[in-house]
Amino acid sequence: MNHSYQDALAFLGIEGAHPGGFELTKQLLKNEKIDQSTKILDAGCGTGQTSQFLAQHFLCQVFALDNHPEMVKHANQRFQQANIPSNVYMNSIEDLPFTNNYFDFIMAESTTAFTNIQQSLCEYYRVLKPGGTLLSIDMTAETELNLNQKKEIMKFYNLTNVLTQSEWLKAFKKEGFKNLKILKSNTVLEELKNSSAVDNLILPLNESLEQIIEEHYRLVLTCGNSLGYRVFRANKE
């Protein structure tokens, strides 16, 4: 069976796979005004780590969504063990199963870049309430990648594109987002030494999954100065 990078993260139950990991997530959220009345979408929730933190720390209403069945399984198990109300959806963020103007806040951690980016941003904007906030951590090309590098990265991570910072900002603006801010930026290579992405493996590696993780780190070491991430914060008007 051929597995994808997303499969490897899901079957191994890897948490905080985005650069900066869960510590970055907590740092970002402590600066936001979130309380019991806040309705939040965790878009691309993975194992549900961030959703659990939001529900327990802020006592807000959290909706967790992912399109991978194994990730949804992990999230449901996590919420049951923590006795957290289960609002977990298996769905693509390109076609969110929510009505317009539904959420006060959307958290998207290393997920939008793995979709049709413009369609996902359109959906975020649609389901946010006026004045609502999007906080998104996304893979970003630090420079214009050469053609071979870009093809290799897109093929391995199953991407439709690898956007530069200026291209990301243009995409947000196209959907109508305002007050665009870049809260943090760094190269992937610089963040690697602080990564906790492989600290919590639920399943032992099999040969196929091990090869995928090895290839991931090879790409990071090879292209890590050309690839980075940005933390974008934006509002719906």
Could you write out the DSSP letters of every residue in 56-113? HHH--EEEEEES-HHHHHHHHHHHHHHT----EEE--GGG-SS-TT-EEEEEEES-GG
Q: What are phi and psi of 187, to 5 degrees?
A: -80, 155
Distance in Å from the first CA to the final CA of the chain: 46
Whole-number Cα distances in Å, 175 to 48, 103, 126: 28, 17, 9
Domain boundaries, the chain: 5-235
Cβ atoms of residues 135 and 110 within 8 Å: no
Q: How far apart are CA 114 and CA 110, in angstroms?
A: 8
- CATH tag, 5-235: 3.40.50.150
**Beta pairing partners, 20:** none
Give, for all 237 residues of the chain, the pLDDT tens digit.
477 777 767 766 676 666 778 899 999 999 999 999 999 999 999 999 999 999 999 999 999 999 999 999 999 999 999 998 879 999 999 999 999 999 999 999 999 999 999 999 999 999 999 999 999 999 999 887 888 888 899 998 889 999 999 999 999 999 999 999 999 999 887 877 665 444 444 444 577 787 888 888 788 788 878 889 999 999 998
Q: What is the pLDDT of residue 211?
A: 83
Give the residue from 86, 128, 88, 90 showing the smallest Cα distance to 107: 128
Which residue is listed with tokens 């209403």? 61
Q: How far apart are CA 41 and CA 22, in angstroms?
A: 17
